[in-house]
């Protein structure tokens, strides 16, 4: 990448980009971007740079990575669009491109619609320039083609869609929030791993800009390793709250939002990573528990346990999971999911047939739906037992099974995604930890909930000689009843096996 003019000169030239990042309120962004391009700062600009990066001096070399951790309304989109416009239109990439090859400046966001906003800003920067508007060859919904063999393209954060092109630069917009139900919990790792090789030929920069979230993912790792004076020279990390980058936002508004929800808005407005959130379990741990099967057929002489997560039919899926014990290990044999819209009664009819295949005469679940699911299961010969533990406590009991490898999961990508997306949150005031899916990012945990419940049931229902209560309530009468039911079931299975019933027909 060979600049035809410096970024400082481009931002001061009326025929180029003087209309971009104009005025005193945009000074922090101008300082940061100029330093990232390896240009020298003035004595007046250097204190701003130090405040944002924790480094005494600018790198004086173009960085390979720029990570900007910025509060909401801090001008991230405008700042990234200005740098993208400069890289695409004011720099020469011909030496790194093969003859006839088009270099791509890639803009990646959680969804294409979000990235298109960045593309609109870039188009406005080009169109408002007397010189640069002449480079525009064409515009589509998700790309701008320039006459200098550079294409500015937007794509969603999907690692399957980023391989192949030669990139002259990559902009990762709001990557701390690349959490969607159709991706892994931290797709930023996979997405950037797929895209980075496209920069090897050109040596173009990876530009990351986002408000912070939890202490996990690429943004947090980059900040943790490279923010401050000990960071690598080729990686520049800046952090600043909303008013550090945008003085036009009144402090009174910031204070009001902090008073409304300090934990959330300390991250959103002060650009501090949230200390009350952490990942429930890592992808590596979950994947190590995944077996080579999709579903296990019912086996004679095996006692099965079932947990369901009911749904009203409009938003969440209705899920069911069946498990059994194998020594000290828990096996998840079968999972079922019916996505909305759905008829709860019809789903229960279908699930009952699955339960009978596995000789399950009872199912556990939460209190969702009141008496309706209980009555529907009961009408069909299945007792519905309300779980004494709430979902968060079930996840607490499930975690040791995952970490110790004492549970085997079927091959189901969605299950893995949901388990990895779970977050542990410290509740303000009580200090108690709760585990749930992220509520503000359109994610779900219906499969994870059913599987965790079934696993915990099987792990605890070992029926030892001391008749310990399977739900941990300590009720001796209930323990005796459970043990009697267990013995009766085992005897019935023994009779059926001895009579050759399993060989003559399916249960």
The CATH number for 165's domain is: 3.40.50.300
pLDDT band at residue 431, thresholds of 50, 70 and 90?
A: low
Residue 81's alpha-carbon distances to 17, 76, 116, 240, 502, in angstroms, are 11, 8, 11, 18, 68
Q: Domains in the chain: how many in total?
A: 2
Instruction: Look at residue 84 and tell me if it is in a domain.
Output: yes
Give the pLDDT mean for 40-62: 96
106 and 229 share one domain = yes
Here the contacts of 483-492 (C-beta below 8 Å, separation 24 or greater) are 486/303, 489/303, 489/359, 489/361, 490/301, 490/303
Instruction: Look at residue 492 and tell me if it is in a domain.
Output: no
Residue 455's alpha-carbon distances to 238, 375, 489, in angstroms, are 44, 24, 20
395 and 421 share one domain = yes
Instruction: Look at residue 129 and tell me if it is in a domain.
Output: yes
Tokens 């401050």 correspond to 228
Q: Please determine, for residue 505, whether its predicted confidence score (pLDDT) is greater than 70.
A: no
Q: Please determine, for residue 227, whether its predicted confidence score (pLDDT) is greater than 60.
A: yes
pLDDT band at residue 115, thresholds of 50, 70 and 90?
A: confident
pLDDT of amino acid 44:
96
Lowest-confidence range among 239-243, 371-375, 379-383, 441-445? 441-445
Instruction: Look at residue 223 and tell me if it is in a domain.
Output: yes
74 and 50 share one domain = yes
163 and 190 share one domain = yes
**Beta strands 277-279 and 423-426, pairing class:** antiparallel
Highest mean pLDDT of the ranges 101-115, 186-200, 379-393? 379-393
> Does residue 55 sit in helix, strand or coil?
coil
289 and 267 share one domain = no
CB 240 within 8 A of CB 271: yes
193 and 324 share one domain = no
245 and 377 share one domain = no
Instruction: Look at residue 307 and tell me if it is in a domain.
Output: yes
Residue 338 dihedral angles phi and psi, to the nearest 5°:
-120, 120
Q: Which residues of 407-432 are buried (b: 16+ CB within 10 A; e: fewer)?
A: bbbbebebbbbbbbbbbbbbeeeeee
pLDDT of amino acid 443:
72
Q: Containing domain of residue 108, as a range?
A: 2-273
Instruction: Look at residue 248 and tell me if it is in a domain.
Output: yes
250 and 297 share one domain = no
Q: How far apart are CA 263 and CA 276, in angstroms?
A: 7
Instruction: Look at residue 427 and tell me if it is in a domain.
Output: yes
- The H-assigned helical ranges of 58-200 are 76-89, 112-127, 187-195
169 and 189 share one domain = yes
343 and 295 share one domain = yes
pLDDT of amino acid 179:
61
Q: Which residue among 250, 273, 296 closes a domain?
A: 273
Q: Please determine, for residue 300, whether its predicted confidence score (pLDDT) is greater than 80.
A: yes
CB-based contacts of 157, cutoff 8 Å, min separation 6: 108, 109, 110, 111, 175, 178, 180, 183, 187, 188, 191
Q: Which residue among 212, 247, 273 closes a domain?
A: 273
Residue, of 192 and 426, whose pLDDT is higher? 192
Instruction: Look at residue 168 and tell me if it is in a domain.
Output: yes
CB 330 within 8 A of CB 458: yes
Q: Which residue among 241, 273, 305 closes a domain?
A: 273
CB 419 within 8 A of CB 286: yes
CATH number at residue 398: 3.30.420.240
49 and 173 share one domain = yes
Q: How far apart are CA 299 and CA 497, in angstroms?
A: 11
211 and 310 share one domain = no
pLDDT in tens, 338-385: 999 989 999 999 999 999 999 999 999 987 767 888 899 999 999 999
Q: How far apart are CA 365 and CA 69, in angstroms?
A: 42
């Amino acid at each position: 990448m060979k600049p035809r003019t410096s970024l400082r000169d481009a931002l001061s030239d009326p025929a180029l980009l003087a209309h971009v990042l104009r005025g005193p309120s945009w000074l922090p962004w101008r300082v940061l971007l100029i330093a990232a391009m390896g240009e020298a700062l003035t004595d007046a600009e250097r204190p701003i740079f130090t405040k944002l990066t924790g480094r005494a001096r600018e790198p004086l070399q173009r960085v390979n990575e720029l990570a900007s951790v910025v509060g909401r309304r801090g001008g991230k989109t405008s700042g990234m669009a200005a740098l993208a416009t400069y890289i695409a239109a004011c720099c020469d990439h011909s030496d790194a491109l093969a003859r006839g090859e088009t270099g791509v400046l890639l803009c990646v966001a959680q969804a294409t619609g979000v990235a298109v906003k960045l593309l609109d800003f870039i188009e406005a920067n080009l169109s408002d320039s007397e010189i640069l508007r002449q480079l525009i060859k064409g515009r589509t919904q998700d790309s701008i083609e320039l006459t200098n063999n550079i294409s500015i393209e937007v794509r969603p954060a999907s690692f399957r869609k980023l391989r192949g092109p030669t990139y002259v630069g990559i902009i990762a917009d709001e990557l701390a929030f690349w959490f969607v139900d159709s991706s892994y919990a931290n797709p930023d790792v996979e997405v950037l791993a797929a895209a980075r090789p496209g920069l090897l030929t050109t040596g173009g920069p990876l530009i990351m800009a986002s408000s912070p979230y939890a202490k996990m993912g690429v943004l947090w790792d980059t900040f943790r390793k490279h923010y401050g004076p000990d960071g690598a020279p080729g990686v520049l990390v800046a952090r600043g709250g909303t008013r550090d980058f945008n003085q036009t936002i009144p402090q009174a508004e910031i204070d009001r939002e902090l008073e409304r929800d300090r934990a959330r808005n300390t991250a959103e407005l002060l650009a501090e990573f949230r200390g009350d959130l952490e990942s429930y379990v890592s992808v590596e741990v979950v994947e190590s528990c995944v077996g080579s099967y999709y579903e296990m057929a019912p086996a004679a002489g095996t006692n099965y346990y079932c947990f369901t997560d009911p749904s009203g039919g409009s938003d969440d899926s209705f899920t069911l999971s069946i498990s059994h014990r194998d020594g000290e290990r828990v096996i998840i044999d079968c999972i079922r999911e019916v996505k909305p819209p759905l008829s709860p009664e019809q789903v229960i009819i279908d699930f009952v047939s699955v339960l009978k295949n596995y000789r399950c005469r009872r199912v556990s679940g939460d209190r969702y739906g009141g008496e309706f699911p209980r009555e529907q299961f009961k009408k069909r010969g299945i007792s519905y037992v309300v779980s004494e533990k709430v979902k968060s406590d079930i996840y607490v009991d499930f975690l040791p099974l995952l970490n110790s490898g004492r549970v085997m999961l079927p091959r189901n990508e969605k299950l893995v995604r949901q388990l990895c997306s779970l977050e542990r949150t410290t509740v303000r005031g009580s200090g108690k930890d709760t585990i749930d899916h992220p509520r503000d990012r359109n994610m779900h945990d219906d499969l994870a909930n059913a599987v965790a419940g079934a696993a915990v049931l099987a792990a605890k229902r070992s029926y030892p000689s001391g008749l310990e209560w399977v739900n941990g309530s300590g009720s001796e009468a209930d323990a005796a009843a459970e043990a009697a039911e267990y013995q009766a079931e085992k005897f019935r299975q023994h009779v059926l096996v001895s009579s050759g019933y399993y060989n003559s027909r399916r249960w």
